[in-house]
Amino acid sequence: MLLVTLWSSLLALTAQGVAQDYGTSPPVYPSPPSTGIGWEVAFTQAQAFVSNLTLEEKAQLVTGTEGPCVGNIGGIPRVGFDGLCLQDGPLAIRQATYASVFPAGLTAAASWDRGLIYLRGLFLGAEFKGKGSHVALGPVVGPLGRSAYGGRGWESFSPDPYLTGVAAENTIWGMQRSGVQACLKHYIGNEQETHRNPALSPNGTTIEAVSSNIDDRTMHELYLWPFAHGVRAGTASIMCSYNRLNGSYGCQNSKTLNGLLKTELGFQGYVMSDWQATHAGVHAIKAGLDMDMPGSIGGLQNTSFFGGNVTRAIKNGTLDQDRLDDMARRIMTPYFYLNQNEYPPVDKTEPTLNSNYPPYDHPFTFGASNVDVRNGHGQLIRDIAAAGTVLLKNTNDALPLKAPKTLGVFGNDAGDLVNGQYFLTSAFQNPFGYEYGTLPIAGGSGTGRLSYLVSPLEALKARAALDGTLVQYILNNNLLTQPSGLGAIVPVPEVCLVFLKSWASEGSDRASLEADWDSSAVVSSVAAYCNNTVVITHSAGLNVMPWANNPNVTAILAAHLPGQESGNAIVDILYGTVNPSGKLPYTIALSESDYRFSDITNSTKLLETEDPNAWQSNFTEGLLIDYRHFDYYNKSVLYEFGFGLSYTTFDMFDLSTDMPNTTINPLPDSLPIAPGGNPSLWQIACTVNVTVMNTGDVAGAAVPQLYLSFPPIPSPMPTPLNVLRGFDKIWLEPSESQTASFLLTRRDLSYWNVETQEWVIPIGAFEVTVGFSSRDLWLKGQLTVTERD
C-alpha cells in the first residue's frame, strides 16, 4: 500500500498514455467472468448473495471505504453482511497490538523449508482471523528481485521464481487453511520503488509512473511464474501494482489482468488495486480490476473512480451489469469458501491505530479490544529465524561457541531498540532507518508492531551467564571506528561478535548494498583488535561483504530479518543448539558494481521534463537476473545462490531418474483452464532421486538442490545455463542417509514459446545436476526428450 499520500495533490492522470517507442500492451477484452472453478459450492452461494443486491450495494461491495482497517468494504446489514476488513501485511498484522511479528519473507525463503513456510502462513492467518481481519495483504512475490537495490525485496522471497513460487503457495495454503483470505501481490513488474507513482514536473506536467517493459518470455518464465503457483494454490485475491507495463498502468492493463491472469492462469478470485493505484473507473473495470482500494481518489472522501461512478456507468450503459455481477461474485466466492460469514468481529482497539477514524459512512461491527492472538507463536518464529540464518564462513570451526571465557559484542545492531517498536512513521524516513537498536524487520506497510523483542545482546548475556563468560560490549559505531575505539575492552575477547544491519523501507530503494552505519569500518576496527571476529548481518536484502576475506573474520552469519525472537534465534545458532541449515536465496557477488546489470530507473532530472512517459525501465537483461546472470557470464562470486554451511558435513550419491530417455508430447494437452493454468502443465513428467548422507558428528539438515540445463531453445534471447527446479530439506542424524525425490512437472521442463503462445518442452538432452548450491554440483544425469509420433 501507499505510505502516507505522497502525491495526494495529483488527481488528473492521463492513465492511458502509451509511449509509441516501446512495446504496447495488446488489448484483451472482454474481461473473462469467473465460473468458480474449484470453489463450486461457494460460487453458488456468492451467486445467490449477489443476485439479492441492489445496484448501489454492488457498487459498494467493489469500492473501498473509510473504516477500522487499512482497507474496508462496508457492511450490508440488510443481507447480514458485516463487510470486509483488509490489513497489512506479509509478516504480521501490521499495526495490531498483542500480535506476533514473524520473520520476513526473505528469511522464510532462506530456510528452504516448505514445512516451516506453511506453518508461518498458518499462524499468520490465525492472527489475522483472531483480530477479525478477513483479508491479509500478502504474501509478496513482486518484486521478485530484479534489482538487488529493490526496497521491498525483503517482503518477498527470492529472485529465483521457482523458490518464490514454492514459498508463495505454501504461505497461501497455510493462511487460507486458517480461514483468512490471502492477497498475493504486487501484480506485476513492480521491481522498483523509485518512480513507482506519478509525480508532477516543475512545469506542471504529470510524469507517469515508471513503465516496466518486459518481453513476453521473461514475463512468463520469471515474473509471472510465482503468480501461477499462487493462483493454483487458490489465493483469494491479487493486488495489482503501481507501475505501468509497456506504458499501461498495472491496475488497468487488459493484457496482464484479463489476458495473463484471468484467461491464461484461470484466476477465479478478485483483483484489488494497490492503494491509489487505480487511475480510472470504467476503463480499469473493463481491463479486469474488481475492487478499488482504498476507494477514494487521492485520499479525498466521497470521490472514487468506482462507487458512484460504477452506478452511473451501469445506468448510462457504458458498463455491463454482467461485469459488475462478476466483480461482486469474485469478491464473495472466497468469502463463502472460507466460511467468513461466520467470523470474529474486528478488534475494537485497531481503529485507534489507523489513520481512518469513525464515524464511518458504513456500519462496522466491533468485538473485544486488544485481543491477544499470539497464542505461543514465538517458538515457531524462533525456529524460522534460526532456519533462515545462513552460515557463510566458518574458519577452523570458530562456531559453534564452546563456553568462551570472554565474549565481545559490537555494533549498533546488537542492542535493544531505543526509538520504539514500530517502523512505519516518518521518524524513520531516513535511508538508513534508526541508528541504535537491532533490526528485526524493516519498514513501511510490510512492517509489524512488536509486542516484544529479544535483542541479540540481551539473549547473549543470558546465555553467556550459564558459562560464567565475561561479556563486554560497545554498541556505538562512531566510537568503534575511531583509532582507539576499543580501548575499553580488556582483555581481548576470545571471540568478538559484530552485529551489522541494512535498512530498507517501502517507498524508496536501497542506496547501498553494504551494511549501513559505516559497517565495513566497524568490522575492520574490531578485526584489527580481535583475531576471532564473527560477523552477523541483519539485512533487508543482500549485502556485499568487502571484509569477508579478512583472515581475522573467522565466521559470517547472514541472519536476514528474524522477527521478534531475533536474539534467541541467533544464540541458538551461535552456540550450536540449532545447526545452521539456511541457504542463500540470492547471490552475494564480489562487489557492488557486479549488480549494475539491472539498474533501477532513477533520474530526478526527469522531473524537469515534460514527457509524461519519461520513466521507462527496459528489462533488457531478460531472464538473466541473479545467479542466472553470474553463471551466464561466467563471473566469480563471493557466495553463490543456494550456498550455506553447516556444523556437519554431507555426502550425496546414487542419482537415478525414472525417464532417462523419454518420448514426450512437446506441447501440453489442451485441457480446460483451471486455476494455475492448463492443468497438464502441472503433471509430473519425471522423477529424479538422490541419496544424501550426514557424514559428520552432529545432526543437521541438508538442502539438496536440483538444477536443470535445457537443450538449445529456439529463441533469440539468452537462456540461463542452469535453473533451479527442485529442492528438499532433509534432517539427518550422524551417519543417517535418506533419499530426496524431485518431481519435475511438464512446466518445469518447458520454455515459453512466444510465437505459439504455449509452454513447449524442447526436444533434446536436458542436463540434470544435483548438489548443495548452484555452484556445488555433485551429481549429473541426463533426460533426453524425443518427440512423440
Ligand X SMILES: *[C@@H]1O[C@H](CO)[C@@H](O)[C@H](O)[C@H]1NC(C)=O
Cβ closer to ligand X: 10 or 417? 10
Cβ proximity to ligand X: between 325 and 416 the closer is 325
Name the residue with cell 485441457.
Answer: 671
Binding site for ligand X (CB under 6 A): 21-23, 25, 48-49, 51-52, 79, 149, 194, 202-203, 215-216, 245-246, 255-256, 281-282, 297, 301-305, 307-309, 312-313, 316, 318, 361, 492, 509, 511, 527-528, 531, 550, 552, 600, 602, 604, 608, 610, 616, 618, 656-658, 660-661, 687, 689, 739, 741, 784
Q: Which three cell numbers stand for residue 621?
A: 537483461
CA 74 to CA 85: how far, in whole Å?
A: 9
Q: Which region, left, alpha or beta, applies to residue 18 given φ > 0 means left and ψ of -120 to 50 means alpha?
A: beta
CB of 99 to ligand X, least distance (A): 31
CB of 200 to ligand X, least distance (A): 11
Catalytic residue among 88, 113, 215, 274: 274
Helix (H, G, I), strand (E, B) or coil at 569: helix
* DSSP-assigned letters across all residues of 627-684: HHHHHHTT--EEE-TT--B-SS-EEEEEEEES-SEEEE-SSPP-----TTS-GGGGSE
Amino acid at position 472, single letter? Q
β pairing state of 700-702 and 751-753: unpaired
Smallest gap from Cβ 151 to ligand X, in A, equals 8
274 belongs to the catalytic site: yes
**What are the backbone dihedrals phi and psi of residue 741, each rounded to the nearest 5 degrees, phi first?**
-110, 130
Compare residues 339 and 661 and give the one whose CB is closer to ligand X: 661
The residue type found at 122 is L
54: left (phi over 0), alpha (psi -120 to 50) or beta: beta
Min dist CB 51 to ligand X, Å, is 6
> Least distance to ligand X from the beta carbon of 21, Å?
4
431, 504, 438: which is closest to 145 by C-alpha?
A: 504
CB of 532 to ligand X, least distance (A): 6
CA 81 distance to own-chain centroid: 32
CA-CA distance, 512 to 503, in Å (whole number)? 10
Q: Does residue 581 contact residue 555 with C-beta atoms inside 8 Å?
A: no
Place of cell 527496459: 618
Within 17-64, strands assigned E span: none
Provide, rounded to whole angstroms, the least separation between the CB of residue 412 and ligand X.
21
Nearer to ligand X, 74 or 307 (CB): 307
- Phi, psi torsion values for 470, nearest 5 degrees: -80, 125
Task: Measure the CA angle with vertex 736, ends 733 and 739; round to 5°.
Answer: 120
Task: Give the shortest CB-563-to-ligand X separation in angstroms.
Answer: 26
Q: Which residue is nearest to ligand X (CB)?
A: 23
Residue 107 vs 309, nearer CB to ligand X: 309
Alpha-carbon gap, residue 361 to 358, rounded angstroms? 9
Q: Quote the cell numbers at residue 17.
A: 498514455
**Which amino acid, one-letter code, is at 70?**
V
* Residue 453: CB minimum distance to ligand X, A: 28
Strand partners, 279: none
Rg, the chain, Cα only: 26
Residue 586 to residues 159, 222, 390, 637, Cα–Cα distance (Å): 6, 14, 11, 11
| Cβ-contact 432, 477 below 8 angstroms | no
Q: Are 573 and 391 in contact (CB under 8 A)?
A: yes
Are the beta carbons of 547 and 540 closer than 8 angstroms?
A: no
Active site residues: 274
